[in-house]
Amino acid sequence: MPSPSASGLLVAGTSSDAGKSVLVAGLCRALARRGLRVAPFKAQNMSNNSMVCLDGGEIGRAQYLQAQAARVVPTTAMNPVLLKPGTDRRAFVVVRGEPAGTLEAGDYAAGRAHLAEAAFAAYRELETTYDLVVCEGAGSPAEVNLRSGDYVNMGLAREFGLPVVVIGDIDRGGILASLYGTWALLEDEDRALLTSFVINKFRGDVSVLEPGLAEITARTGVPFHGVVPWLLDVWLDSEDTLEVGHWRASTALSATARDRLKVAVVRLPRISNATDVDALAVEPGVDVLVTVDPAVVEAADLVVLPGSRSTTSDLAWLRERGLADVLSRLAASGRPVLGICGGYQMLAREIEDDVEGRVGVVPGLGLLPIRVEFGADKVLARPSGTWRGHEVEAYEIHHGIARRLPPPPGEVADPPAVQGFLDGWNDGPVWGTMWHGTFENDDFRRAWLTVVARAVGSEWQPTLDAPGFAERRERMLDTLADALEEHVDIDALLAPTRVGTGADVSAGTRSQSR
């Protein structure tokens, strides 16, 4: 059974992308609004979407957002282990925000004892600092093949006596079987920690669902403490690259609406920090489509090459798909192409990689006059700068270092079109920067998109009185918290914890004592 005064609770899921990250973010905001000092925690992420904390350490983007939801400063303790897939069989390991080697597929189940130690130490750090720790599991707790080395799902719950909430996405279908199957596959000691089921993304009449919920509770003894409705306007930073662009357009980009701006984002196989384009997608009149279709890319006003965890491998994929030729044609015709981090590196004339892909020297797309060399040390930074008078704050996560090549023989100076751009370069219609997160700066985003629109003859103009990106994110977090307060019995979820029923949670008792 969970500890009667557990320091936290664990939100597990029936699968990846079941809604764990969203539920944790919503709980963090709801509890913060109640006056609690709450921290998010995920013992281990496997994700290429990450963020740099103010102390210079790297954590999963979802945990960074959850800390913002909790209105606390994000730290590396909130995501002590981050695995960044580089190939289908190898992941790069980040421990407490710093690179810590690689993990091979064969070592995944049993070769992680040192990572578990780091994760448990981080949790202990948080539980002594905050009123409550809201933990997010990974994948499903019913992955019995991984149970012996688990420290992020039931292994974490057993270590700290945490009550476990299991959330399932009803939109996927088979929700009752998924919830029952999760319970049935757990060991008795793990099963005893399950205290709640929650349904996510429900559309329709709840009364139709209720007989099924009652039957599952009768068979498992686990009560349902919430049915969260489908929240159309809530999409939050995801750690799951299978779900890039929750906001994404569902149809091909329009070829006729001249007052709109059409943006194609190339969905690279090892796409990284795809959240860079979220702010583009919420800009009024900007249509964003994540795609691998060369025809869609060629029809766009702007093409974005996002970050990549395997730059040279994804560059080879661009060539295999015919997308490299499309990008060259677009640039030659004057249509804008933007590369961010790994995408920027692909635009180089030459790439030397003996670190990430270990392929030596390979030709880049040749669209920017730079050479990229991969260094052993990872760059983790929170840079700031300006572009045409607009302030820009960003973050950097990369091994590749881009250097400007000198003019070709016979040219005494750079062509006038080559200019600096956010610590990167711009050559005519081609733009590149190592900086992530630049489009979250509202004034810069709108000014830069205006330049893009004029270059392609679009009549798009920014809506200056539209909510800014940070404001929209705050609204989404509050909307999510409102939905949980209305549709989830939060008090029941908290009951087995030290801030549960009978505890003085009106003003955050632990935070007042510090």
Q: What DSSP string runs through 116-141?
A: HHHHHHHHHHHHTTSSEEEEE--S-T
pLDDT of 508 over the 50 cut: no
pLDDT of 79 over the 50 cut: yes
* Residues tagged active-site: 341, 436
Range of the domain at 434: 260-455
CA distance 38 to 107: 34
For CA atoms 228, 233, 237, 243, give the dihedral sign.
positive
Tokens of 248: 């994404």
Element (DSSP H or E) covering residue 509: helix 509-513
Q: Residue 105 has what pLDDT?
A: 60
Residues 267 and 335 in one domain: yes
CA distance 189 to 500: 23
Rounded to 10 degrees, the C-alpha dihedral 339/341/347/351 comes to: -170
Q: Are 116 and 155 in contact (CB under 8 A)?
A: yes
State pLDDT tens for residues 341-399.
Answer: 999 999 999 999 888 778 889 999 999 999 999 988 888 999 999 999 999 999 999 89
Residues 448 and 322 in one domain: yes
Residues 55 and 169 in one domain: yes
Strands (E), 260-389: 261-266, 271-272, 286-291, 302-305, 307-308, 337-340, 350-353, 360-363, 370-381, 384-387
Confidence of residue 16 (pLDDT cuts 50, 70, 90): confident
Is 508 contained in some domain?
no
Q: Residue 242 has what pLDDT?
A: 42
**Lowest-pLDDT choice from 162-176, 301-315, 322-336, 499-513:** 499-513
CA distance 461 to 285: 8
Residues 207 and 299 in one domain: no
Residues 341 and 213 in one domain: no
State pLDDT tens for residues 190-215.
Answer: 999 999 999 999 988 899 999 999 99
Q: Where is pLDDT greater, at 145 or 243?
A: 145
Averaged pLDDT score across all residues of the chain: 88
Is 341 contained in some domain?
yes
Q: Residue 238 has what pLDDT?
A: 53
pLDDT of 246 over the 70 cut: no
Nearest to 274 by CA among 249, 239, 234, 311: 239
State pLDDT tens for residues 36-69.
Answer: 999 999 999 888 888 999 888 999 999 999 999 9
pTM for the model: 0.86
pLDDT more than 90, % of the chain: 68
Query: Cβ–Cβ contacts within 10 Å for residue 88, how many?
Result: 8
Q: Are 35 and 506 in contact (CB under 8 A)?
A: yes
CA distance 194 to 183: 8
Is 249 contained in some domain?
no
Counted domains in the chain: 2
Q: Residue 319 has what pLDDT?
A: 96
For the residues 216-234, what does the mean pLDDT come to? 91
Q: Residue 209 has what pLDDT?
A: 92
Confidence of residue 405 (pLDDT cuts 50, 70, 90): confident
| Domain containing residue 34: CATH number | 3.40.50.300
Q: Residue 394 has what pLDDT?
A: 96
Residues 39 and 116 in one domain: yes
**Helices and strands in the chain, H and E counts:** 16, 27
- Alpha helical stretches, state H, 55-205: 61-70, 113-127, 154-160, 175-185, 188-191
Is 130 contained in some domain?
yes
CA distance 117 to 151: 9
Residues 446 and 488 in one domain: no
Residues 425 and 490 in one domain: no
For the residues 458-470, what does the mean pLDDT come to? 91
CA distance 352 to 364: 10
pLDDT of 506 over the 50 cut: no
Q: Where is pLDDT greater, at 148 or 247?
A: 148
| Domain containing residue 311: CATH number | 3.40.50.880
Is 67 contained in some domain?
yes
DSSP label of 51: E
Is 112 contained in some domain?
yes
Vertex 305: Cα angle to 304 and 306 (nearest 5): 100
* Length of the chain as a residue count: 514
pLDDT more than 70, % of the chain: 89
169: helix, strand or coil: strand
State pLDDT tens for residues 125-165.
Answer: 999 999 999 999 998 999 988 888 899 999 999 999 999 99
Q: Residue 132 has what pLDDT?
A: 97
Residues 283 and 219 in one domain: no
Is 366 contained in some domain?
yes
Confidence of residue 106 (pLDDT cuts 50, 70, 90): low
**Lowest-pLDDT choice from 265-274, 357-366, 407-416:** 407-416
Q: Are 129 and 122 in contact (CB under 8 A)?
A: no
Is 478 contained in some domain?
yes
Residues 440 and 477 in one domain: no
Residues 328 and 359 in one domain: yes
CA distance 112 to 151: 9
Residues 224 and 276 in one domain: no
Nearest to 440 by CA among 293, 304, 275: 275
End-to-end CA gap in the chain: 30
DSSP label of 488: B
pLDDT of 291 over the 60 cut: yes
